[in-house]
Structure 1
């Protein structure tokens, strides 16, 4: 990373997101120490810059893309004002992350080949006997492909397109303009695919990457802002991460959208 970016990350992030934690004298006194220790433990589990090289380049970019929405917690910067990001700091980080975006290669033969191979494999695949579950107990919902498409979006950091589907309850809420908050029972599915761009700049759907679900139940999922999260990757639908605490990552990522009931992409309204 550029030196200016490194300096910002070390000043504002390393105390909770690396193995180079430097505690202030008042952080070492109980009960403050217990709170700080928990912050550091949670911070390292989500992102540890001391283990940065263990992440794939794609995961590195995804973590940076996610982190720009999660500047240091106000409860932390209140006691550690030097960690607070300035407007200039945020601009430096955003400019750096924007320069990491994936630029499509027109008629990319590698992506076309991946799509062709994936399509052939799916034709030969046996019907799934067991339905996978995320580690928080949420099952994969195969029927999402039959739901209405409510919006689309892109991730320029990894060159993917996202198609967002809504179940009947979600669609009814959209039509009645009752999505602030979304009613219990609403389910949003976000399927991610490679982008394939032709010689004229038109983008079409490439190989399947993953599908994510958001299930609204304000009581059952109270700890994660009323939403249950699940993610299944690759055509084998492998549940995301190796422990149920992946939902903390999901919740933190969606926290900046609190005013939209934690939903990033608002549905297209007719």
Structure 2
């Protein structure tokens, strides 16, 4: 009798599960397929890689497989496409200025090189999207070819010297202005100049050099390998300078371009993934963004690193 009741119970459970499975198929978030306004023009081998590994989520040419159509997988795919096209859409390439196009390609390659893209959950069901070492080499060569050709540039040296004079003048001014503040309330943090470097990067697309500095909490976390997640109180300052190359081919930092901050406070910044974001441009330290929601750009760029607490930086050994 007990065996019979168990079979009836199991049958009822299976029926409920089947009904629920059929029911969820009727909830289908719309995947908006807008027209192609202007595709990326790239060498055939580069385009083939992008089409195979990126276009499903980063273009208006999404090609859903049969298993992508089944909920709940469909919900995940729809969300990936929505977020992916918001950050990068190869089918609307003509809407971006050339400098922005190069920056987007550099960011995309950087995420691919760090194995943050394509998403592992996507690769699991779409193994053809996984990039080989040769694919990565082809993309790197292409992105590098778009970078400004580095050569001795007296104009950059002149701009650097002029900027130094302006900065020195600001420092000798009797009345110091208040610290500039971003639209989300985060103020410029001058103390970063005394922090230790965490890592460094080079932007192929725009000829800048960048050093990431960390405050004492960040340095301690890096030493103790407690960086995923980074502890509250961590602050990164990524500073960018223009590259200058002299007649001997030596590359040094030139004019200051910007400083951007990531501030970890899991409670205060819960709506922005536990991080506060701010960027200040030029020696005038002009806050970046036209509205407080400019941070959505930051989150969109860092989203592929969600499993690494949204941080691209790999700390150097201290």
Query: 1:4 matched to which residue of 2?
Result: 45
Q: Distance in 2 between matches of 1:11 and 1:152?
A: 32
Q: Which residue of 2 aligns with 1:148?
A: 195
Separation (CA, whole Å) in 2 of partners of 1:96 and 1:130: 41
- Alignment deviations for residues 42-67 of structure 1 (CA, whole Å, 9 cap, x no partner): 01111011122332333222222222
Checking the alignment, whether the CA contact within 8 Å between 2:68 and 2:77 is kept in structure 1 is yes
Q: Which residue of structure 1 lines up, in the alignment, with residue 155 of structure 2?
A: 110
Alignment of 1:1-270 (within 5 A): 1-68=42-109, 69=111, 70-106=116-152, 108-119=153-164, 123=169, 131-134=180-183, 137=184, 139-151=186-198, 153-157=200-204, 158-171=206-219, 177-181=223-227, 182-221=230-269, 226-234=274-282, 235-240=284-289, 243=293, 244-252=295-303, 254=305, 258=308, 262=311, 264-267=313-316, 269=318
CA contact (8 A) 1:153 1:163 kept: yes
**Bigger helix fraction:** 2
* Structure 1: unaligned runs, 5 residues or longer: none
TM-score by length of 1: 0.78
Larger radius of gyration: 2
Counterpart Cα distance in 1 of 2:132 and 2:185 = 39
Unaligned runs of 5+ in 2: 1-41
Q: Give the drift of 1:147.
A: 2.5
State the Cα RMSD in Å: 3.3
Q: Matched residue pairs, number?
A: 262
**Contact 1:140 1:232 survives alignment (8 Å):** no
TM-score, normalized by length of structure 2? 0.68
Task: Assess, with a 3 A threshold, how the Cα gap between structure 1 residues 29 and 173 changes in structure 2: closer, same or farther.
Answer: closer
Change (3 A) 1:44 1:194: same
Equivalent residues of 1:150, 1:268 under 8 A apart = no
